[in-house]
Amino acid sequence: MNDQHNRAITRAGWVTLTLVSLTQLLSLLDRQILAILSPRIKQDLNIGDAEMGLLYGTVFALFYATFSLPLGRLADGWKRTKLLALCIAVWSLATGSAAFATGFGLLALSRLGVGIGEAAAQPAGTSLVYDHFPKARRGLAMAVMAAAIALGLGLSNLLGGVAADWWDQLHPQGPGGLGFSGWQFAFLIAALPGIGLALLLSRLPEPQRGAIDGLVPVHDPAPFRASADLFAAILPGSNWLAMARQRASTRQWLANLGGLLALVVAGTLAAHWCAALSPRPPLQLGGVTISPHALQWGVVGFGLYVLFNLVQSLRTTDPVAHAVITRSPALLLCMAVGSLQSLINYGIMGFTPAFLMKTYHLTATETGLKFGLLSAGLGVVGPLISGPLSDLLNRRLPGAGRVWVVVFALGLSPLLAMWVYSAPTAGQFYQRFVAYSLVLTMWLPPLYAVMFEQVLPRMRAITASTYIVIMTIVGLGIGPYAVGLMSDAAGGNLGVAILSINWVSPLIVLLLLVLARRASRDEASLSARARAAGEPV
């Protein structure tokens, strides 16, 4: 290591952070706009809630998580600026294609394309920003990106609702110009900014990877081949062909097949238990009848098997990355904390609008405007406080300083949640929600800053992709589903269900206390662990 991490941020660094943050903003905008347009889509295309749930969660999450791994590997070896530009163009075109949907099929293909395109946004973007920002300022960088994500969430409601309403009011007799209805027009508008941003990113200079940390990796001669090989190695079915080509040992075959069998058994038992707790009517998908609980746990099992295949493949294809990632307790703790907190966040935010309408008898418009704008605004302020604060504390308490900011946020927020979700009126809910949301949104920048310090620069994108898989499966895959189950068990009491998900918090705080002791120590041993595994650092 050298002292380059203390140097000033260049103009190119600020420009890169701005463009990457805009990428995160558009990613969430295009991802979430489906939620505000859902009622119009259901009416026009005769689609039910089950199908909309698949579009919003299952289809997107499955492809987003799976493709983040090969695209993350590509970002670790190829030009990240070019990769981001291509992926933004792909997901923007996919978003725009939803405007031409006349049924479930094309809409599902559109969401599939959005999921694949957005899979590179966080891995490539984070890796790019880290090569411009010194260690002492990375909390600030993560804060700006987190604020952009919050803005994207808020703008998805505003842009989708305003654009659709304006177009429908302009053409009250039915589909207007070019035969579009309001929701189709909204998808077109949402797609346009991405094309311009893709052009700007394609012209952005690529920084030297790892130079700011004094850890410049050797040139990757075939990043596309490595990405394709990784995809083949993690995809169920093709992973066995990859194992055969690599002449996997009997022990590796037994581990893989045993892991698959364990996931099938666990998923089957979970589906039966959840069906007994909350009986649901079967889904009709393309003439096939399937239990929603079986589909839910099938997707979770698929994601976990992909993750299992990744770990097994890295051991053979990149033993250094395998050693650095799996032998860093601090890194694993960061991933566990982020995933468990995402479970809480997705569960709470997925049902809070319904809680407000049901408990306080608010309309959808009132809820969308007040809750959406408040969440977006506080989602910007919280990270912008915690990011610089964690940088300051980290200079005094290396590693642990950032973790203590996370402990404060995630230790206090469950207590505030009990106060917020017991408010007697909507006005008091919103007043209390200000303090709650401000504290709750402070965790992401410092935790991410700690996490990406635990790996070499050439591994930051694949580390981000690995985290995305875990976080998506646990957070988006289980969080809202768990709150729904608890609501059914509580006779439809959403307040009780939302508060119940916070029982994960004591485990999170315990993991953070261990992390505070490990973060600096594991970061200091990074180079030694990499050299021991064969990396010339």
Let me know if residue 229 belongs to a domain.
yes
Last residue of a domain, one of 290, 317, 344: 317
Let me know if residue 462 belongs to a domain.
yes
Let me know if residue 217 belongs to a domain.
no
Cα-based angle 74, 78, 82 (whole degrees, multiple of 5): 100
If pLDDT is split at 50, 70 and 90, which confidence band does 4 have?
Answer: very low
Query: Tell me, what's the pLDDT at 487?
Result: 80
Q: What is the pLDDT of residues 189-227, one digit of tens each?
A: 999 999 999 999 999 999 988 888 887 777 778 889 989
Let me know if residue 288 belongs to a domain.
yes
Residue 291 shares a structural domain with residue 332 = no
Last residue of a domain, one of 149, 175, 208: 208
pLDDT beyond 70 at 537: no
Q: Which of 184-188, 315-319, 365-369 has the lowest mean pLDDT?
A: 365-369
Strand, coil or helix: what is 289?
A: strand
Residue 163 shares a structural domain with residue 127 = yes
Query: Tell me, what's the pLDDT at 3?
Result: 46
Let me know if residue 75 belongs to a domain.
yes
How far, in Å, are 211, 390, 432, 522 from residue 3 at the CA level? 11, 20, 45, 19
CA distance 478 to 299: 10
Let me know if residue 214 belongs to a domain.
no
Query: Tell me, what's the pLDDT at 189?
Result: 93
Query: Tell me, what's the pLDDT at 50?
Result: 55
Residue 278 shares a structural domain with residue 384 = no
Strand, coil or helix: what is 180?
A: coil
How many residues can be counted in the chain?
A: 537
Residue 328 shares a structural domain with residue 313 = no
Nearest one of 366, 381, 350, 376 to 427, comparing CA atoms:
366
How far, in Å, are 103, 366, 419, 463 from residue 470 at the CA level? 32, 34, 30, 11
Query: Tell me, what's the pLDDT at 173?
Result: 67
Query: Tell me, what's the pLDDT at 365?
Result: 65
pLDDT beyond 50 at 1: no
If pLDDT is split at 50, 70 and 90, which confidence band does 150 have?
Answer: confident
Residue 419 shares a structural domain with residue 289 = no
Nearest one of 14, 34, 139, 123 to 447, comparing CA atoms:
139
Residue 346's domain is classified under what CATH number? 1.20.1250.20
**Amino acid letter for position 193:** P
Let me know if residue 216 belongs to a domain.
no
Let me know if residue 296 belongs to a domain.
yes
CB burial readout 192-229, b (16+ within 10 A) else e: ebbeebbebbeebeebebbebbebebeebeebeebbeb
Q: Which of 78-82, 100-104, 346-350, 506-510 has the lowest mean pLDDT?
A: 346-350
Residue 303 shares a structural domain with residue 378 = no
Domain that holds residue 93: 1-208
Which tokens go with 109?
């293909």
Q: How many CB atoms lie within 10 A of CB 158?
A: 16
Q: What is the pLDDT of residues 248-278, one digit of tens each?
A: 899 999 999 999 999 999 999 998 998 888 7
Per-residue pLDDT, averaged over 465-489, amounts to 82
Query: Tell me, what's the pLDDT at 269?
Result: 96
Residue 155 shares a structural domain with residue 33 = yes
Residue 335 shares a structural domain with residue 428 = yes
Q: What is the pLDDT of residues 15-40, one digit of tens each?
A: 999 999 999 999 989 888 887 787 78
Residue 274 shares a structural domain with residue 202 = no
The total number of structural domains in the chain stands at 3
Per-residue pLDDT, averaged over 354-373, amounts to 77
pLDDT, mean over the chain: 86
Q: Which of 41-50, 67-76, 95-104 has the lowest mean pLDDT?
A: 41-50
Last residue of a domain, one of 317, 338, 361: 317
Query: Tell me, what's the pLDDT at 174?
Result: 63
Per-residue pLDDT, averaged over 68-74, amounts to 90
If pLDDT is split at 50, 70 and 90, which confidence band does 84 have?
Answer: very high
pLDDT beyond 80 at 286: no
Residue 98 shares a structural domain with residue 235 = no
Residue 398 shares a structural domain with residue 311 = no
pLDDT beyond 60 at 323: yes
pLDDT beyond 80 at 536: no
Residue 40 shares a structural domain with residue 187 = yes
Query: Tell me, what's the pLDDT at 64?
Result: 86
Q: What is the pLDDT of residues 415-436, one digit of tens each?
A: 999 999 999 999 999 999 999 9
CA distance 260 to 171: 54
